[in-house]
Structure 1
Amino acid sequence: MKLCLSLLVAAFSAHAAESTFFAFDDHNIAWQHNLKLTLETAQKHPANPVLRNGPPGSPDAGHAILYGTVLKQGDTFRMWYLGMHEAEIVKGQAPGWWRPMCYAESKDGITWTKPELGLVDFNGSKKNNICLIEGEPHSMTRVNDFLSVLFEPEEPDPSKRYKCAYIAHMPIEDVKGGRSKIGPNEKRWGSFVTATSADGLTWKCVGDRPANAEGERFEVSGLYRFGDFYYATGQLLSPWSWRPDGSEIGRDMLAYRSPDFVTWSKAKALSYARPGQLSNPPVKGQQMHMGAGLWNCGNVMVGLHGMWQDAAEKPPAGKSWNLGVRVDLGLMISNDGVHFREPVPGFQVIPRGKEGEWDDVAILQGHAFVNEGDQTMIWYSHWDTGGVLENMDIGLATLRRDGFGSLSPKVTENDAHFITSAFTAKQIALNVDGLSAENPLCVQLLDHLDHPLDDFEITLTTNGLHVPLNWPKPLPAHKIALRVNYPANSSAKIYAVYLND
């Protein structure tokens, strides 16, 4: 076990030592001449859905959705997801509603098993895959919605190396400290609850009250560490959230922060709202759904957000309130861990399926990104907005490794180039395609004032996911920038620049 943990620490440390300038990062690749960004649509796996709901009587008989997380540790993919044992949505949902934190494993990310953990009594048996959450009051342990799992191998306290955040709709009377007068007089509290664990299977709640402000229905959907703070992002809407001018807004993403995973800020940052939500007047029916599924890439946060569009017509009486809502998944990025943006607003990285396909109504994002071999693997799930839990299972989509998008010449007949922001590194590599001996790239190093450095210009003709730039001498210790020159008639595509310390 010590050897296994040492390997995990080394793997995570190695990841942190490498910075990635993605092609769609217009902060780190801001300076461009004659270039266009082409985003890619992920390819859905032919075996989808790769993880399905269980048989009658199981914890996920109603549905298995990836309001959760996938991590690869060692040679095992680990998934935390939400099950539901009811076959249909219960009217009123909270405070008694429970969607257990379920656990699955895989060796390839495609074929999954649901191990018998033996931790929680369900229907008279502990032979199930439910994770145990301990805490007082008991209602804090009842997961209702989105859970996000974070692994920190360098955490000095072994019992806290796994951290999570989730939504538990608690009765108001269960909440220590009472409630504020802000917002409608509800019987439940949209609670943002945190917990820690040594193994990711047995958890203990942090404290004895929710982390979010009193009386607020904050639907936490993300948890990550970026710089000096932990951040918890989630969904809010009016009356708890509003546009900068104070006017009402639909679902948007806000963030809390904490320096120690115990005390969380009362102040929140507006992390993201879809462009149509902030226009004047706002685009009718356009919202973002449940924050974002996020991937910490070390120097930047990358994620997928739910591109919500209201139903064209109001549902008939007696039907689900959100019948007809449609959701696709769009790409977003943040350079500070707080403020997110879409590289190309409205682009669907993972679109919902066509009519009649298993994921044809609306889809949901998870914190589920893994670079494996030559692919970036992304798991997601289906949401039946009609409220009957039909086909609410988990699927897989893939891209070229780090291949969310590429930079290539806009006017092919002309030359093109980009210059990165300044950095220090010992090694530089490119994720590139479309090169040949007849169609090379010229790569240069510049000082912080854009002056070319002597003896730091090379020609690149090799394609690959991580092609090293072999300079004639070691890189300078001071800050430098990279200039990549595309000759006229170039067909080169650059997906990412990698900087290794």
Structure 2
Amino acid sequence: MILTCGVTVVMLSAGLLGQIVFPATGITTKGQAMLLAIDDASLPLKRNLCYYLTKPTVHPEPVLLPSRDNPHAVDYLGCHFYGGVVHEGGKYRMWYYPVSLGRNPDISPEQKKASDFWTAQLWLGTVCYAESQDGIHWTKPNLGQLLFKGNRDNNALDMPDALIEGVHVIRDVEEPDTNRRYKMVMNVFLPGGMPTIRTATSADGIHWNAAKQTALGGDFIEESSIYRFNDLYFVNGQTFAVGNNGRRLGRSCYVRVSTDFDHWLPEPAESFVLPDPADAGKTVEHGRRDETHIGVGAAPFGNVLVGIYCIWHNDDDFGKISGDFGLVVSNDGVRFREPVKGYRWLTAQDSAVTPVPGQDYPTILCQGNGILNVGNETRIYHGRWRNVNYSRRDAKPEDYYAEVALATIPRDRWGALGLFPGQAEGSMWSCPMTLPEGGCDIVLNADGANGMRVEVADERFIPIADFSGDASGAAAAADGLDVAVRWPKGDLKMLGGKTVRLRVHVRKTGAVEPRLYAIYLSSRGR
């Protein structure tokens, strides 16, 4: 405790109450922090080590399909995963936006007036809900809310907007008001057709209280995800950016920020933008270029966020556009970066949409709030959009199609740090971290962990004697998602409240190539 100008100020150690603090970013986590191998802010210094990104496994069949057996269904044409998945209480819950054939005649006069600009055969929205016990086999419960083409027997939510292009949902476990436990961001349309967002909150994820006004006034955005990170709310979405000297950049990822989910700052921030091609033939005016489609679909994991974005291969002919996934990380929720620049983490060929016999419609992959850890697996729910060019004479309305797919990796194994080819040993340093007062355990997600040892140094890289050299920590097993590190002389509780760095030595000791995917710091005081 100190006294300043007659005011009593209580100075709490940064490491109290199970908190792990990252001074370089200002991030504080409770319970567990994760140093991902692909996060070059957490593991910035490396010798003889390079990335080995993981190729995800794609489930052979889509996990959610349109209701093609019912032409009057809300999702007759498509189930678009501009959506979100939550896993709670042993149940998977999904919110997605449907596409039907033809306007819903049962909308209110106010909704009709607001949607008169929409003349296409495809009707977007409203919001649909599905649930599953295993995340593979999904049901569409009859919610009885929305009157759609004369029937309320459907899985649609009754929302204030008739046209909704995207819906993203999180379960906010830190929200003290249980009536606001679930939070939703919807892509709605202003009069005349400009997309923007409306927010909603719910106690159960089924009955929603939508905000009366759109969140950003008249600002354009098509969102890809919502997340809470470092006690702020973020919406990550697509806008049309303007670059150096006013040059148009096309689709680009930007974020909007809120402290309470009700009031959003008017200033956006650039989140992730692909390089502006110098070739004049690839300017946005000509259409042929790669862009970032609908923002980053991100998920927070304590001190880091992992996201995927659609690499939109733009073309003058819309029907030739396809979309692959890129992989990005962030340490502040605003700026994302690729571990390997330009890497296509999942291609449209890897996760191709159900085809139309005799047609060659491209696949556009779509991201949302679809990344979640369940047990020993990381699941990446995503959308597959069949891009139909209706200018083709042989194109039918029913050719339009969207489905939900699933890709998986072993938990948190987005990519590894491994030895250069031909090298036998290497090493890496972490960023500085302030350890919790109650101590913490260090656990490796690694293969070939028996060739790894962990040292602890102060923030200026000076080794701490009881945790370095012959007193370094050693892995308790050769391989695994959770390999404990054992210390021969001490306990990390001795370092509670101190700011330290970790140094990991990697050595090949047998036939297995050592691969480090993540380092976990688990507080004992949580």
Q: TM-score, normalised by structure 2?
A: 0.80
Matching residue's letter, 2:485 = L
Largest Rg, 1 or 2: 2
Query: Displacement, 1:16?
Result: 5.1
Query: In structure 2, which of residues 62, 67, 80 is the aligned counterpart of residue 49 of structure 1?
Result: 62
Partner of 1:448: 459
Of 161, 171, 182, which residue of structure 1 is paired with 2:181?
Answer: 161
Instruction: Choose the corresponding residue for 1:474, options 468, 491, 494.
Output: 491
- Describe the shift of the 1:165–1:270 C-alpha distance in structure 2 as closer, same or farther (beyond 3 A): same
Match of 1:184 in 2: none
- Could you list the runs of 5+ residues in structure 2 that have no partner in the other structure? 1-28, 104-114, 356-361, 390-396
Question: Who is 2:358 aligned against?
Answer: none
Q: Does the 8 A contact of 1:94 with 1:170 survive in 2?
A: no
Q: Which residue of 2 aligns with 1:199?
A: 204
Deviation of 1:73 after TM superposition, in Å, equals 0.4
Please identify, of 243-252 and 94-103, the stretch whose mean Cα deviation from structure 2 is larger: 94-103
The AA in structure 2 aligned to 1:495 is: Y
Structure 2 partner of 1:260: 260
Q: How many Å separate the matches in 1 of 2:353 and 2:384?
A: 10
1:405 match: 415
Deviations, residues 379-430 of structure 1 (Å, cap 9, x unaligned): 1111122255544111111112111100001143342000111222511111
Corresponding residue for residue 233 of structure 1: 236
Match of 2:207, as an amino acid?
T
Q: Which amino acid aligns with 1:117?
A: L
Match of 2:308 in 1: 304
How many residue pairs end up in the alignment? 447
Question: Cα distance 1:266–1:357, how it changes in 2: closer, same or farther (>3 A)?
Answer: closer
- Residue 91 of structure 1: CA displacement? 12
Distance 1:422 1:416 in 2: 20
Change (3 A) 1:450 1:356: closer
Shift in Å at residue 97 of structure 1? Answer: 4.6
Contact 2:303 2:331 in 1 (8 A): yes
Question: What is the Cα-based RMSD across aligned positions, in Å?
Answer: 2.5
Please show how residues 117-136 of structure 1 align to structure 2 within 5 Å.
117-133=143-159
CA contact (8 A) 1:132 1:201 kept: no
Confirm or deny: 8 A CA contact 1:71 1:369 kept in the other structure.
no
SS in 1 for 2:101: coil
Q: Take 2:228 and 2:179, find their aligned partners in 1: how far apart are those partners? A: 18
Q: Percent identity at matched positions?
A: 30
TM-score calculated relative to the size of structure 1: 0.84
| Partners of 2:58 and 2:351 within 8 A in 1 | no
Code of the aligned partner of 2:249: I
| Gaps in structure 1 of 5+ consecutive residues | 1-14, 172-186, 316-321
Structure 1 range deviating more: 409-418 or 189-198: 409-418
- After the TM superposition, which of the residue ranges 49-58 and 384-393 deviates more from structure 2? 384-393
2:442 corresponds in structure 1 to 428
1:222 Cα deviation after fit: 2.1
The one-letter code sitting in structure 1 at the alignment partner of 2:50 is: K
Give how far 1:102 is off: 0.7
Tell me the distance in 2 between the aligned counterparts of 1:53 and 1:35: 45
Amino acid at match of 1:443: V
Do the aligned residues in 1 keep the contact of 2:457 with 2:464 (CA within 8 Å)?
A: yes
How far apart in 2 are the matches of 1:189 and 1:129?
A: 27
Alignment correspondent of 1:349: 345
1:170 corresponds, among 171, 190, 195, to 190
1:182-202 superposed Cα distances (whole Å, 9 cap, x missing partner):
xxxxx2332211111111111
Residues 41 and 348 in structure 1, CA contact (< 8 A), matched pair in contact too: no
Work out the CA distance in 2 between the residues paired with 1:356 and 1:159: 39
Q: 1:386 is matched with which residue?
A: 388
Runs of 4+ in structure 1 over 4 Å off: 94-97, 278-284, 354-357
Amino acid at match of 1:341: R
Question: What's the CA shift for 1:117?
Answer: 1.4
